[in-house]
Structures are given as C-alpha cells and as structure tokens.
Amino acid sequence: MRKTFILITIISNLFYSAAYPKNNLYEKIDLFGEVLENIKKDYVDDVDHAEMMDSAINGVLQSLDPYSAYMSPELFKEMQTDTRGEFGGLGIEIGMEAGVVKVISPIDDTPAAKAGIKAGDYIVKIGKEQVQGKSLLEAVKLMRGPVGTSIDLTVRRKNVKKPLEFKILREIIEVKSVSSKIIGQEKNLGYIRLKSFNENSDKQFLKSIKEFEKKYKLKGYVLDLRNNPGGLLTQAINITDFFLEDGEIVSTKGRKVSETRKFFARKGDEVKGKPIIVLINNGSASASEIFAGALKDHKRAIILGENSYGKGSVQSIIPLKNGGGIRLTISKYYLPSGKSISEVGVAPDIFVEENSEDFQINSEKDNQLNYAIKLFNS
C-alpha cells in the first residue's frame, strides 16, 4: 500500500487546485483504487504490484510532458552516485516522445556520434529490450554500463523504411565544450563551435574571442551550436551577453514567484558589432535555443540551418519520502519577443538542410557551414 500512498500523494500535489474541484479529485482516486482491486482479483496473470505502481506513478508524470519522470529509490540512488571511472556512456542527449525515446542530439566526438546516431532518431530497442513503455530514466539506465562494453541500439529514422542497427562501445564521456579556428578563403572569419553549456563554457568561449580579436582582423564570426543539447542557464545568459549591448536575453515563468525571472544583457559587445552567423539544427536544444533565439530577436545575428529541437523548460529533482525522486518541470523559457521555445523551437532565418547521408559537421561536406562562409563573401 506504500506505493499507492505515494501515487495518491503525487496525484494530489499535481492536480489539486481551484480548477479541479476537490470532490472530483477524490472520486478519481477512488476509481483508481477500484481499478487496482479488479486487477488484483481478475487479471489473467500474476502481477508485480510494486512494479505496476512504479509504472502508474511514472505515467502520471509523463502525462505532463516528456521531461517529467519518476525515479524508484534504486534508480534515484544510482543517478546520484558518482560513477566516474566505472560506468561509460554513449554521448547522446535523449528525451521522450509518444512513449518512445528520441535522440535530442549526439555529442561531437563521442561513441554515438562516431557510430552515426543522428538528432531525431527514435530508439526502439536497447539490446534485446523493447523501449516502448519504459521511462526515460529506465532507458538511460539500460544504456549505461562498464567502460569498454558494447550495446546494440535499434533506431527508426525519418524517411528510412527499415530500422537501423548500431553497435556502440561505451566510453567515459568528457566533453570539451569549446573549439575554435580561423576559416574562409581569406582566413578572415572566426569559427567557434560550442558543444555544450557546462560550468566553464563562458570562460573558454571568451578566451577564443579575445585571442581572435587580438591576433586577426576578422570580417565576422560563425558560431556553431549544431547538436548542442544545452546545459546551464547561467552559461547561456553569460555567452549571449558577450554579443549584446543591452536588452532582455531570456525570461523564465513558473507557478512560484522564485521561478519567474528576467535576465538582461550588460553593456559591452566583445566583438564590437561584427556580423555573426549562428548555425543550428534539430539537435540544438534548451540553452542553445536561448542563445540563438535571443540573438535573432535582437537582430544581432543571422540564424542559419534547420529548426531547433524545442526544449524550453526547466526541470528540478525533488526527493520523495520513500527514497526515490521525481524530475518535474518547474518553469518555461521565453525569448525576448515573449515567444515560448517549447515544442516549436527557433526557426532559422535561412533554412539550409543537411545535403547528404555522409554529412559531417565542420568538414568539407558540411554544406551548412559552406553556405555561411559564402554569405560573408557575397
């Protein structure tokens, strides 16, 4: 009955409001109890009631959005444990869509990216396990494992009829978030690739800019956020601020006053008004969308590539009395224009789609980057 109590508590906390009369809520809880009794008495097979309740709790949370989820005590403890040196990953950011795990983006130079996993792929099998019906965190758990071991992933890809199979070797994922170089026929463009927004991204990013500004007479910058799954909100704000003199960068809105805030740029453009092109694709999410959306709204940059992912929400991890926890969406991001990023993403000013199966970011076959370079020369 402990699991039932937890589920009822979650339901009450999530749905009890003036918009949902108290009597109606209790009627639904009574109905839920009636369903459980019928399952217990009449279902054809024996049922693991604890496992069933976990699924029910998770169903409540996942009915809210793709990012809210329940963690059992075992899973919650595992997620909190520092497993550095013991467990490896694949290097993909994932979310849920219609009960299936969807790849938000593969991270550059990780096993998943090298194997050919792409943003927008749907993972339907992990090893021999069907993904349908599992929670996001259960899928993450299945993909984790000792460094040096392999995992088989079966994916469905848009416009590809047959499922694709990949064998991927787990590695410890260490992401250097910023890389930079001089590009263009005349070597007069600064190219900065931002792979994630982690704790030191702003310092690495600013270091690249200052070196470019000191050593070269640049015509402009290409800032590459393709397959960047996001990261820390503070980093998105800091890096966006490098290119704006003033104005709003982003706002967050939640039910609590503490989750409703606005963030503004401070005076000072680190590249002194030079033209900027920002590259995005379907794997650009969350903090990447804040950055691209703010520069677009302020008309500070041309956004080129494909529509971004559309993850415009903030999640918080909330411990539960049973030792488990929930991941719950507590606020949403809004661009300076007032538009929400959620589910719609940021649309590019210039739409340029990847043009080949062997497309590779920052290579000779990178038609999006080549298009950006041509714009500066036109």
Higher-confidence residue: 215 or 28?
215
Task: Assess whether 311 carries a catalytic annotation.
Answer: yes
Task: Read off the pLDDT of each residue in 253-267 and give the average, rounded to a whole number.
Answer: 92
Residue 14 confidence (pLDDT): 53
Give tens-digit pLDDT for 283-319: 999 999 999 999 999 999 999 999 999 999 988 889 9
pLDDT at 301: 98
The better pLDDT of the pair 294, 105 is held by 294
The whole-number pLDDT of residue 269 equals 95
45: Cβ–Cβ under 8 A, 6 or more apart, which residues? none
Q: Which of 121, 311, 331, 366 is catalytic?
A: 311
Amino acid identity for residue 185 in this structure: Q
pLDDT at res. 223: 98
H or E element in which residue 31 lies: helix 22-42
Over residues 135-159, the pLDDT tens digits come to 777 888 888 888 889 999 999 998 8
Select which of 297, 313, 331, 366 is catalytic. Answer: 297
- When pLDDT is cut at 50, 70 and 90, the band that residue 86 belongs to is very low
pLDDT, position 211: 96
Residue 109 has pLDDT above 70, yes or no: yes
Mean pLDDT, rounded, for 204-211 = 96
What the chain holds in terms of domains, given with CATH numbers, is 2-76 (no CATH), 82-169 (2.30.42.10), 178-313+330-377 (3.90.226.10)
Most confident of 96-100, 105-109, 190-194, 364-368: 190-194
pLDDT at 171 over 60: yes
What φ, ψ does residue 115 adopt, rounded to 5°?
Answer: -75, -20
| pLDDT band with cut points at 50, 70 and 90 for residue 260 | very high
Over residues 316-349, the pLDDT tens digits come to: 889 999 898 998 999 999 999 999 999 899 999 9
Mean of all residue pLDDT scores within the chain: 87
Confidence of residue 83 (pLDDT cuts 50, 70, 90): very low
* Predicted local confidence at residue 84, as pLDDT: 36
From 135, 180, 286, 308, active-site residue = 286
Single-letter code of the amino acid located at 32: F
Look at residue 15 and tell me whether its pLDDT is greater than 70: no
pLDDT-wise least confident of 217-221, 222-226, 230-234: 230-234
Question: What pLDDT does 75 receive?
Answer: 78
CA-nearest of 141, 157, 132 to 62 is 132
